[in-house]
Amino acid sequence: MATHDSISQPARPLLDGSVIESKAKQVAYGIYYFARKEYLSNAYSAPMISASIIKVFIMEYIFANQLDLQRSINGEPLNSLLQRMIQISDNEATNAIIDQVGMDALNQYFLQAGYTDTKIQRKMLDTQAQSQGIENYTSLPDTMEFLKRIYSQQAKFPYGEMLKILLGQQIGTKLRSKLPEKIPVANKTGELSGVENDIGLVFAPNNPFAIVVLSNGVYDRSKMREAIGKLALAAM
């Protein structure tokens, strides 16, 4: 199933999302083409386990609240922790930031910013909380909105700074895995047992797009990663 925004140019053929949808119990995917305002999606909007995707919203909180990036946290500048949180998905760096700003402040910001499905309820690597079913959540609408904000306001602070950080991403196991290396991609992955997520901006020449894949209840991790890579390539 695909949904569309208004289309200013002829629509490309609908991408077949059935492959990724067959790899997990729950899959939400969306692709938004900025040039012609075309949106292809399976329209699954329910909250999903975010895994490390929650980190992009923590990053936005830091910039939106103009926190001092040179502030020392556990002997390390916030700016360094921020880059490690996003670019190598460092969980210890993330937890240091969470301890500094607090979950309540983060959740309050998420709601105020319009990310109504995004919620942080535990720190990274908290296996005890996980065993009790406590998870962090986001959704296709929230992640797509985040990407649109970054793209549409990339010439302004702080969106340009967040884009630079995302462009320095070092993990390319999903969306970026099959794309030509010359194509700039600003993305953030997330994974847990049974969870394979990736969201990003793909700066394809004359055809830039945002792409989101969230999947919970994954049957085979390697096959899902392969399918996500193929979907991103097909979207070019």
β-strand 137-138 against 185-192: which pairing, if any? unpaired
Q: Render pLDDT for 86-100 as a digit per residue (tens, 0 to 9).
A: 999 999 999 999 999
What confidence score (pLDDT) does residue 14 get? Answer: 55
List domains and CATH numbers for the chain.
18-234 (3.40.710.10)
Q: Render pLDDT for 107-137 as a digit per residue (tens, 0 to 9).
A: 999 999 999 999 999 999 999 999 999 999 9
SS3 content of the chain, % helix, strand, coil (to 5): 40, 20, 40
Residue 71 confidence (pLDDT) above 50 = yes
Pick from 66, 60, 233: which is nearest to 150 by CA?
60
Pick from 88, 53, 55: which is nearest to 214 by CA?
53
* CA–CA dist 173, 112 (Å, integer): 33
